[in-house]
Amino acid sequence: MSKEGSLEAPTRHPILWTEPDFIDTGKIDAELRRVFDICHGCRRCFNLCDSFPRLFDLIDDSPSGELDTVPSSAFKSVVDACTFCDMCFMTKCPYVPPHEFDLDFPHLMLRYRAAEQAAGKAGFRGGQLAKTDRNGKLAGKMADLANWATSLDNFGMRNMLGDLAGIHREAELPQYHAKTLMDHRSEGHAVNREAPGHGRKAVIYATCFANYNEPAMGTAARAVLAHNGVETEIVFPSCCGMPQWEQGNLEQVAANAEKVAGEMMDWIDQGHGIIALVPSCALMLKFEWPLLLPHDENVRRLADNTYDITEYMVALAKEDGLAPGLAPLDGGVTLHLACHARAQNMGAKGAEMLRLIPETEVTVVERCSGHGGAWGIMEDNFDVALKVGKPAARQALKADSSWVVSECPLAATHLRQGMERLADHIPRTVPHPIVLLAQAYGLQQLEGPSS
């Protein structure tokens, strides 16, 4: 018999999203009640996302003080608060498989949303915001206008954006660039033939965010890799589907997975590793896609050959050694270990990578930023997102580093907004640690830390 708190590694089952029972509302409700009752008796996840406080409040405020008097209609608020950070499954829950209780809270929330999607009950606003590839292409064509319209200083447009899209007027939104990361493909960096890692080849999977919102992440990664002897190409067949995953649109996620995996096969056959720049995207390619399409050989091969950028750099350093030239950064670095980096079960690779920089103190913050993809920018969630991320913001300020960075660019921005509410002077925030590694190599210059 399985024991509570088993030391066995958690495992996940394939997602049976094509079977009719997967979206059967009666069966979903029965499973929700089974899982919620176990959560009620445990409550270890009370300080993670807002799903668990909402669930426990529903139970505690019910007539019986138990789950049996909570109406099923109230469960939607619990489901809506899940951001798919996976931390309950990865770090807190003692009942994940192979335990006999067989709990997978995030994938149960996914199943509920998939049923909503199939019934046409998924929110229109969320569905439109989830089309990050389309939105990036459109906004990039008029980047100056898009950035003006979404600026926090543009009170009129932000109020209108709140009315139309439900986005909180104080939530800082990503900027768009007319020149995407894909547009930088022709700007190749000379590969350092003297580097210990010379001979390696890799494809940089651009991701929606790096392509449209933060091309400097991709150019920094390419410069660092070239300096370390790695020949790279930038490829972006399609979005990884994480935004659609959050909406329960699994048919679209599967279509994206098949398209991306199919295009990556030639590169893998030629000996290229596949590097994802954003941890949420790496998580999809490495773990979620194989569960969604367990019999797709292309998806499996892609998963086996995909690396998070920090994971790749640490492996390069350990296996071949890094090229010389790293210089200390001006002041220490506080790294927010993003939830989707932790969910990849690869260790704290962002911290390991930054510790390769000489004479640079690295402090790690493991608390959730609270952002949760598009969840944290919505009117109903922004204040809660800041509350969830407040412990991480406090830890970042307490570290008193010159730089604060997250492996998740959205989390970095959210952390900065949280720190701004706690202190008058905050450290300089950076969207990803690969940018700091490029800075340490002198390959990409940043402005000095704020005081």
What pLDDT score was predicted for residue 330?
85
Q: What is the pTM of this model?
A: 0.92
Residue with tokens 């089309």, as numbered in its chain = 131
**Looking at domain 325-440, which of 1.10.3470, 1.10.150, 3.30.1490, 3.40.50 is its CATH number?**
3.40.50
Q: Is residue 233 classed as helix, strand or coil in its secondary structure?
A: strand
| End-to-end C-alpha distance for the chain, whole angstroms | 56
Model confidence at 345, in pLDDT bands (50, 70, 90)?
confident
CB atoms within 10 A of CB 265: 14
**Cα 427 to chain center, whole Å?**
22
- Work out whether the CA dihedral 284, 288, 293, 297 comes out positive or negative: positive
Model confidence at 146, in pLDDT bands (50, 70, 90)?
very high
Rounded mean pLDDT, 202-225: 95
Q: Indicate the range of 7-11, 206-210, 318-322, 380-384 predicted with least confidence.
A: 7-11
- Work out whether the CA dihedral 12, 410, 305, 351 comes out positive or negative: negative
Residue 68 reports pLDDT greater than 70: yes
Q: Is 28 exposed, middle or buried (0-12, 13-18, 19+ CB in 10 A)?
A: buried
Q: Which residues contact 414 (CB under 8 A, 6 or more apart)?
A: 172, 369, 370, 371, 376, 385, 386, 389
Q: In angstroms, what is the C-alpha Rg of the chain?
A: 22
- The pLDDT tens digits of the residues spanning 354-387 come to 999 999 999 999 988 988 888 889 999 999 999 9
Q: Is residue 430 classed as helix, strand or coil in its secondary structure?
A: strand
Paired with 31 in beta bridges are none
What pLDDT score was predicted for residue 451?
34
Model confidence at 448, in pLDDT bands (50, 70, 90)?
very low
Paired with 306 in beta bridges are 274
Q: Is residue 246 classed as helix, strand or coil in its secondary structure?
A: helix
Residue 47 reports pLDDT greater than 90: no
DSSP output for 330-396: SS-EEEE--HHHHTTTS-SHHHHHHTTSTT--EEEE-S--S-TTTGGGBTTTHHHHHHHHHHHHHHH
Q: Is residue 167 classed as helix, strand or coil in its secondary structure?
A: strand
**Cα 362 to chain center, whole Å?**
21
State the SS3 of 22-89. Answer: HHCHHHHHHHHHHHHHHHHHHCCCCCCCCHHHHHHHHHHCCCCCCHHHCCHHHHHHHHHCCCCCCHHH
Rounded mean pLDDT, 225-239: 96
Paired with 336 in beta bridges are 365, 406
Query: HSE of 334 in the Cβ direction (CA atoms, 13 Å)?
Result: 25
Cα 196 to Cα 111: distance, rounded to the nearest angstrom:
47
- Write the CA distances from 246 to 81, 110, 116, 242, integer angstroms: 11, 7, 12, 6
Beta strands of 390-445 (E only): which ranges? Answer: 403-406, 428-430
Q: Which residues contact 306 (CB under 8 A, 6 or more apart)?
A: 205, 273, 274, 275, 276, 282, 285, 286
What pLDDT score was predicted for residue 331?
86
Asked if 67 and 42 touch (Cβ cutoff 8 Å), the reply is no
Rounded mean pLDDT, 102-119: 96
CA nearest 184: which of 162, 159, 215, 156? 215
